[in-house]
Amino acid sequence: MTLRPTVRALATATALVALGAVTACAADGTGADPQRVDVAAAFYPLQFVAERIGGDAVRVTNLTKPGAEPHDLELTPRQVGEVNQAELIVYLKGFQPAVDEAVDQTGGDRAFDVAGVQPLLAASAGGHDHEGEEAGHEGEEAGHEGEEAGHAEEEGARDPHLWLDPTRLATVGDRLAERLGRADPDRAADYTARAGALRAELERLDAEFAAGLRTCQRREIVVSHTAFGYLTERYQLDQVGITGLAPDNEPSPQRLAEVAREAREHRATTIFFETLVSPKVAETIAREVGAKTAVLDPLEGLSAGHDGDYLSVMRTNLATLRTALSCS
């Protein structure tokens, strides 16, 4: 998942130097608004949770702009300043190297790493990705070695997309309420109450997914990258990823042929692509196997101008899955 780490580290370090004395006075994390807790959220699902739990008591800044691919985030000096001034930094270590670098430089005890809330799944959980398939096809391994080296998805890699399991996101909310309560003790009970309300909403969503996906003609989903391990594990589905965890990797011709073969074997009617990533590869496979394409949103971020939220996008995902899998 750590794509182009040297370039990103250099970019973030440059931003930190450029920031210089402009934000040095805010290095103690006192925040800009004495009436509210300033929270820097690394990407959309963390913004959603922070806003729902914080309510009017927090000011949340999302470091990843709408429509941007969060894996590729590079921080501007202004954004590094927002990290520096935040009273709480909510991020997922290993997902966005530029944010990791900024937190390492200035975060201190203001950083809340949601990856530490619960153990993360292995990168291959929830179905097949290209690594699992290659292990079963020894004759093709040599042709993939260079590709795998470029993917930086080594054995033991962990899947960061925990928010696609609503129950895990509810637990992140519980822990975030505790952290906000320590930063703002006078309103700790309010944060706890809002976390409880959010948990109830997420548990309802979880029940909708469980019921909606219980009886389906197919249980395999062909996706543009293996972001859906938490969802597929939670609801007993199986993902077939065109690429691995990094959405901008180019699949090899061998991998494309493998995915097409699996799609035919499972009689897939739909090849899924994402809102923030080009659909061209998914469209190529769909044409080859006579399938349709549809959006399955990994919710790494909202597209620009989107007026929904985490809950509405997840419910759209559920409806899309039910259609594609012929669920009753």
Reported as a single tens digit per residue, the pLDDT across 255-312 is 999 999 999 999 999 999 998 888 999 999 999 999 999 999 999 999 888 889 999 9
Average pLDDT over every residue of 173-190: 98
- Across the chain, mean pLDDT equals 85
pLDDT at res. 155: 58
Query: In the block, which residue shows the tokens 């996101």?
Result: 169
Q: Which residues contact 287 (CB under 8 A, 6 or more apart)?
A: none
User: Is the pLDDT assigned to residue 11 strictly greater than 80?
Assistant: no
225 and 112 in contact (C-beta within 8 Å)? Answer: no
Q: What SS3 state is found at 217?
A: coil
Q: When comparing pLDDT for 247 and 146, which is higher?
A: 247
**Per-residue confidence band for 196, with pLDDT thresholds at 50, 70 and 90:** very high
**Per-residue confidence band for 126, with pLDDT thresholds at 50, 70 and 90:** low
Reported as a single tens digit per residue, the pLDDT across 107-125 is 999 999 999 999 999 987 7
pTM for the model stands at 0.84
Q: What percent of the chain has pLDDT over 70?
A: 81
Q: Which domains does the chain have, with CATH numbers?
A: 5-119+161-205 (3.40.50.1980), 127-157+213-324 (3.40.50.1980)
Per-residue b or e along 168-194, where b marks 16 or more CB atoms closer than 10 Å to that residue's CB: bbbbbbbbbbebbbebbeebeebbbeb
Average pLDDT over every residue of 87-113: 96
Q: Are strands 270-273 and 238-243 parallel, antiparallel or unpaired?
A: unpaired
Q: Which residues pair with 62 in a beta bridge?
A: 41
pLDDT at res. 26: 41
Reported as a single tens digit per residue, the pLDDT across 20-66 is 433 444 444 445 578 899 999 999 999 999 999 999 999 999 999 99
Query: Quick one: 218 exposed, middle or buried, by C-beta within 10 A (0-12, 13-18, 19+)?
Result: middle
**Per-residue confidence band for 234, with pLDDT thresholds at 50, 70 and 90:** very high
